[in-house]
Structure formats: structure tokens, C-alpha cells
């Protein structure tokens, strides 16, 4: 029995299908690793209600994040496999975009607090990828398995940082309704709540 399972696991004919399963597993694990400590910390620092309600929020947020990532990774890999089979076993550059497009719409298309955070995180990385990289790359384009990230050009990153902070501070002050709720709460805590106190206690120890 064990040898039969090992044979299936190492058989190239089943590799692409098992990769979908492994992708779901990795998405689930990574989602828990990312969301659980974040939800725990935010509940301790800024959570409302009793600890039972906070624990429920931590569990729900972690479950949603983990299941969303597991669903996206498995769907993305399945769509890549489907396109490759429809194209005679050949993979095209556009396959990744199409698979990501469909997977993103199906898995992350519903606007929830968790989905919004994930999508904004991804979007910020996409925008930042357009900053020219430090140095120059040579040779043929690398595959995803061999590519190594190159940091942005330091001077251009300085401009990018300045523009980003200038823009977000302007939006916070003048168009706060357009800012993502979690970030708005953080900025209000940092920049507005710090304008108010009525004693040493609320100046240094408690916010309000």
C-alpha cells in the first residue's frame, strides 16, 4: 500500500494534479501564518468586546484568509493546467495573467475586509514593480523558478516613497473616505488622536 502511494506521488503523470493539491495546502498554511499573528495583535491592541468575541474574530479572519489563499492557488494552478492542455501541452506567457485574472475575480472579487487588504497588498507590489531596478540585468529572461528579485534603484525609490506619503497624507486630510478602513483607523490614531489629551494619563499612558 505504502509503495503504491509512493509510486503515485513520484509518477510524472500525476505531478500537475498533485501540484494543485500541494498548492492548496501551502496556501492554507501560509494564510494561517500570515493572518493569525496579525489578527491576534490587532485584537489585543485595538479589539473591541470581550475576549470571547475577539477570539471569534481572530478565528474567522484567519480562516477566511487561509481558505482564500488555498482556493486561489489551487484554482490558479488548475487554470494553468487547463490552458496548457488546450494549447497542446505548451505554456504561453499570457496563461499566467489569464489564470490570475479569473482566479482573482472568483476568489477575491467579493469586497470583504480580508479581501480588500490582500488585494491592496498585491496592488502595491504591482505598482512598485514599475520602479526601475538597481543596476542592470543581463541575459535571457529568467523563469519564475530561477529569477532573483532585484531591489529598486535607491534614488528612484526615494521619489516613490515621497510621492506615496505625500499622496496618502493629502488623501487622509482631504478625501479620507477614499482610504481603506484599516489604514484610515491607523492614521487617525497616529495623526488625529495625538492632538488631544486632558491629563498626563491621556498624554502618555492611554490614548483616550
Question: For residue range 131-144, what is the model confidence (pLDDT) as tens digits?
Answer: 988 875 544 555 66
Task: Indicate if 45 and 119 belong to the same structural domain.
Answer: yes
Could you give phi then psi for residue 152, rounded to 5 degrees?
A: -65, 155
The more confident residue out of 121 and 204 is: 121
pLDDT recorded at residue 74: 95
* Beta-carbon contacts of residue 74 (< 8 Å; ≥ 6 apart): 20, 21, 23, 24, 27
Task: Indicate if 70 and 39 belong to the same structural domain.
Answer: yes
Task: Indicate if 156 and 73 belong to the same structural domain.
Answer: no
pLDDT recorded at residue 138: 47
Domain boundary among 130, 162, 179: 130
Query: Average pLDDT of 103-114?
Result: 93
Contact by Cβ (8 Å): 72, 27: yes
pLDDT recorded at residue 205: 84
pLDDT in tens, 21-48: 999 999 999 999 999 999 999 898 878 8
pLDDT recorded at residue 141: 56
The more confident residue out of 198 and 66 is: 66
| CA-based nearest residue to 24, from 67, 83, 79, 80 | 67
Report the C-alpha gap between 65 and 40 in whole angstroms.
14
Domain extent, residue 171, equals 151-208
Task: Indicate if 121 and 161 belong to the same structural domain.
Answer: no
Q: How many domains does the chain have?
A: 2
Task: Indicate if 160 and 205 belong to the same structural domain.
Answer: yes
pLDDT recorded at residue 139: 47
pLDDT in tens, 38-85: 999 989 887 888 888 999 999 999 999 999 999 999 999 999 999 999
Contact by Cβ (8 Å): 76, 23: yes
Is residue 4 one of the residues assigned to a domain?
no
The more confident residue out of 9 and 78 is: 78
Contact by Cβ (8 Å): 75, 104: no
Amino acid at each position: 500500500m505504502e509503495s503504491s502511494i509512493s509510486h503515485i506521488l513520484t509518477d510524472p503523470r500525476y505531478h500537475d494534479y498533485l501540484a494543485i493539491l500541494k498548492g492548496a495546502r501551502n496556501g492554507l498554511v501560509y494564510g494561517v501564518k500570515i493572518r493569525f499573528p496579525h489578527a491576534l495583535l490587532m485584537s489585543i491592541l485595538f479589539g473591541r468586546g470581550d475576549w470571547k468575541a475577539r477570539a471569534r474574530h481572530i478565528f474567522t479572519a484567519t480562516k477566511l484568509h487561509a481558505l482564500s489563499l488555498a482556493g486561489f492557488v489551487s484554482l490558479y494552478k488548475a487554470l494553468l493546467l487547463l490552458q496548457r492542455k488546450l494549447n497542446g501541452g505548451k505554456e504561453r506567457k499570457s496563461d499566467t495573467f489569464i489564470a490570475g485574472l479569473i482566479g482573482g475575480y472568483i476568489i477575491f472579487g467579493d469586497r470583504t475586509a480580508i479581501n480588500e487588504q490582500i488585494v491592496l497588498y498585491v496592488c502595491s507590489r504591482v505598482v512598485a514593480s514599475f520602479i526601475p531596478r538597481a543596476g542592470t540585468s543581463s541575459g535571457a529572461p529568467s523563469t519564475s523558478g530561477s529569477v532573483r528579485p532585484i531591489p529598486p534603484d535607491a534614488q528612484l525609490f526615494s521619489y516613490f516613497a515621497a510621492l506615496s506619503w505625500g499622496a496618502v497624507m493629502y488623501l487622509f486630510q482631504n478625501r479620507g473616505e477614499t482610504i481603506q478602513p484599516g489604514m484610515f483607523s491607523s492614521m487617525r490614531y497616529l495623526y488625529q488622536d495625538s492632538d488631544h489629551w486632558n491629563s498626563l494619563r491621556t498624554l502618555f499612558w492611554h490614548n483616550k
